[in-house]
Amino acid sequence: MRSVCFYFHIHQPFRLKRYRFFDIGNDHYYFDDFTNDDIITRLAETSYIPMCDTLLDMIRTSNGGFKCAIGLSGTAVEQMQLYVPELIDRLKALADTGCVEFLSGTYAHSLSSLESPEEFRREVYKHDEMIRNLFGKTPETFANTELIYDDDIAGEVLSMGFRNCITVGAKHIMGWKSPNYLYQAETAPDLRLLITNDKLADDVARNFNNPSWPAYPLTADKYMDWIAAFPEQEQIVNLYFPMDVFGSFLPANTGIFQFMKALPQFAAERGIRFVTPSEAVSMLKPVGMLSVPYPISDVDEARDVSAWKGNTLQNEALGKLYAVAERVSLCDDRQLKQDWEYLQSSDHFFYMSTKNMADGASHAAFSPYDSPFSAFTNYMNVLADFLVRVEEQYPDGIDNEELNSLLLTIRNQAAEITSLNKEVKSLRSSINPDDEDLPDVKPAPAKKRATKKAPAKKTASKKETP
């Protein structure tokens, strides 16, 4: 019996405000709250909420026969909580049906899988904790930022405990192979790969409202006929969409929501069932291995990562950002860590792409900037201020290894003092029960030890003085 798995993804970055050179050192708030509020609210009204309601209707009218997967970035969820909490309620209602699987991914929809394995792991763990706290679900299937994947990432994903991963059916990787099978990762054979059927997804996302398309108009029965016509041995069709395709890129007046609602009925008539990715993996056996030596993604015709790493502007920005990854991970400054996450969103680097100059401004259509150079200049101004704040926490004169050792010593000593305080309290209690409520030894260890960083800072500054 053939199965279809729909994947819907919601991501919104925290967009940067216009940040001038003269703001560096004076203004530590980088984000355009008005624009972020406006965009997430508008998309929620036109796309996200109507689509969630459509999915709920499909599940109920099919008596649970319709199933799908949803991916959420942490930055999108934070904006939902700030501006459209009713959207969170819709997602919780979908979770309660038991017919929706929530995907794992990077918290900030970042490029950390290409830049920093340690940061990649931290982001994935934080993302999955968010999903558990919100929906009571533990993600089992991994979907990286824009489905970025290669052999090295496969090993990282498997080491984090995932057995299922979805990625793109890039032509230069698949060759003659069909995406409608389950595969294994060559470098991590225990990792099962679900491959997107890009052509069928594009028939909806790109051609549903295109009168010049030879197959126009696309109807639910026609779409299911195409899926039913695949060879019998091709058992799984994976369809991946950004959720804003429905209601935003394809407005409600195109009939896109009615098209979706009709799919379960026509699927049932043709013996096609809907499954979650975990169900698909449990039912199917892999037919072979896939090797992906270089990173692929679901963006652009080339299906590579040049949309984010294709020019010197992007690589300069990425290099400077991730050069301080270890220092940021060691600090305890909550605001600094939050800004670090928001600055990692892949969108910032996408806006710097110069590919649009050669291929018809496809990237420029999504950018709030006049040009890639404006995007780069604005981001680097913000990053310059951010790096000053990191420097204030941990001067460059102290290398990462020395810094890590110092902080470990401080934390170990703090833990030892806490243990000794408990022992003293226990001894007091055994000698005189009336002393149980006596205070612990003061002052608090963390603050006492923190002052020991000062000599290191002075030493570092002397070394840097010409």
| pLDDT given at position 429 | 73
DSSP letter at 354 equals -
Mean pLDDT is lowest, of 209-218, 412-421, 442-451, for 442-451
Cα 71 to Cα 142: distance, rounded to the nearest angstrom: 9
User: Rounded distance, CA 108 to CA 223, Å?
Assistant: 34
Confidence check: pLDDT of 428 > 80 = no
Average pLDDT over residues 37-58: 98
Do 234 and 192 meet the contact criterion of CB atoms below 8 Å apart? no
431 Cβ neighbours under 8 A, 6+ residues apart:
none
Give the tokens for residue 146: 């824009």
CA 287 to chain centre: 29
From the list 43, 50, 46, the residue with the least C-alpha distance to 12 is 43
Between 275-289, 367-381, 423-437, the lowest mean confidence (pLDDT) is in: 423-437
| E strands present in 297-340 | none
Q: Tokens for 55?
A: 């999915």
Mean pLDDT of the chain: 89
Which residues, including other chains, have CB under 8 Å from residue 405's CB and lie 6 or more apart? none
pLDDT at 404 over 70: no
> Would you say 263 and 241 are in contact if contact means Cβ atoms under 8 Å apart?
no
Nearest-angstrom CA–CA distance, 412 and 439? 22
From CA 211, how far away is CA 104, in angstroms rounded?
37
Average pLDDT on 11-40 reads: 97
Alpha-carbon distance of 174 to 233, in angstroms, equals 17
**By C-alpha distance, which of 164, 140, 148, 151 is closest to 112?**
148
Among residues 146, 234, 301, 391, which one is catalytic?
146
CA pair distance 316, 351, nearest whole angstrom: 14
Radius of gyration of the chain (CA): 26
List beta partners, residue 220: none
Quote the pLDDT of residue 158: 98
293-339: pLDDT as tens digits: 999 999 998 999 999 999 999 999 999 999 999 899 888 899 999 99
| Residue 146 is a catalytic residue | yes
* 120-168 tens-digit pLDDT: 999 999 999 999 999 999 999 999 999 999 999 999 999 999 999 999 9
Under CATH, to which class is 3-290 assigned? Answer: alpha beta
Task: Name the pairing type of β-strands 182-185 and 188-195.
Answer: antiparallel
Closest CA to 70 of 13, 134, 119: 134
| Residue 298 host element (H or E) | none
Q: What's the confidence (pLDDT) of residue 136?
A: 97
Average pLDDT over residues 413-433: 70
Kindly indicate the confidence band of residue 434, based on its pLDDT and cuts at 50, 70 and 90: low
> Cβ distance 127 to 109 under 8 Å?
no
Task: Calculate mean pLDDT across residues 111-115.
Answer: 98
Quick one: pLDDT at residue 426?
74
> Is the confidence at residue 459, as pLDDT, over 50?
no
CA distance 121 to 217: 44
Name the pLDDT band for 465 (thresholds 50, 70, 90): very low
